[in-house]
Amino acid sequence: NSSESHNCAKSILTSDRLQIVVTLSEFFNETWEAANCANCLKNSSEGLSNSTVEFLDLFNKSLTCFEHNLQGQTIYLSPNNYTEVCKNCNETYKMLNDLYNNLQRMNGQGGESEHSAHLCIDVEDAMNITRKLWSRTFNCSVPCSDTVPVIAVSSFILFLPIVFYLSSFLHSKQKKRILILPKRIQSNASLVNIQEKYS
């Protein structure tokens, strides 16, 4: 009976003490939502979105490049000498990083998927793995190009108080104290004579 189907399903799902079917269903739904899995799919959930396929393709190319440049050299390389990897895989890594940044920007504006919170966990984990390999394992981080101007401006700002106090010391006229000596008070006898003259 269609009117009783809901109650029938409810009684079957909650028939055991642990309600294992309901618990598993809630767990998988919460995991799906927390991992933003829908953001890797097209709106109709027919398959992976074009941007996700493009990203995963570049991710695989990056890992292949890392492996190719390490083959036969790992025995001879010191832990901090991965210049071949940094040089040969720089372009692939830069393309992957730029694509990831664009996907983040698009996702914030509502991209291919109807959900717009974060990128799906597969894309985020793949980028985290690549960045960790690039910066920590291979030590390929590119030095910041703004370092010299920042140091120059910081030095100038720190030097300003010294210039200010030095110039104020040099250009200020130090006034010498002129002592005004009081006239000595005349004796009482002369004061009496003066008063007598005027009286």
User: Structural domain boundaries of the chain?
Assistant: 8-137
pLDDT computed for residue 91 by the predictor? 94
What type of residue is 139? N
| pLDDT tens, position by position, 70-108 | 875 554 545 556 888 899 999 999 999 999 999 999 887
Neighbours of 132 (CB within 10 A): 11
CA distance linking residue 130 with residue 121, whole number of Å: 14
Residues 6+ apart with CB under 8 A from 3: none
The Cα–Cα gap between 23 and 100 comes to: 35
Residue predicted with more confidence, 42 or 194: 42
Whole-number Å distance between alpha carbons of 119 and 38? 9
The answer to whether residues 100 and 128 touch, using CB atoms and an 8 Å cutoff, is no
